[in-house]
Amino acid sequence: MGNLAPDLAGAGGRYDAGQLRLRIANAATLTPDTIMPSYFVTEGLTRVARPYAGKPLLDGQQIEDVIAFLLTLKEAP
């Protein structure tokens, strides 16, 4: 057991919508060795299960919905 992801508490206070969008759509642009999946980019990926090859995990509206939620998380606990 361990932590594989950053704490999302206060994410809306640390990042603006554009920064969150970039991290969700393709975190590898910021951190090339990240283990975070690309939720929108479909090209140049490795180790993608066949049913998901060429398909984004989230569509554009779903990504915008996640961003809207994360922006509400202004304060860390």
5 in any annotated domain: no
* pLDDT more than 70, % of the chain: 95
76 in any annotated domain: no
- Determine the average pLDDT of the residues in 28-39: 87
CA 69-36-28 angle, 5° bins: 105
1 confidence band (pLDDT: 50, 70, 90): low
2 in any annotated domain: no
17: domain range?
A: 11-71
66 in any annotated domain: yes
> Does 36 score more than 90 pLDDT?
no
- Decide if 20 contacts 67 (C-beta within 8 A): yes
Query: What predicted TM-score, i.e. pTM, was given to this entire model?
Result: 0.80
20 dihedral zone (left: phi>0; alpha: psi -120 to 50; beta): alpha
Q: Which residue has the tokens 């994410």?
A: 11
Q: How many domains does the chain have?
A: 1
Domain holding 49: CATH number?
1.10.760.10
6 in any annotated domain: no
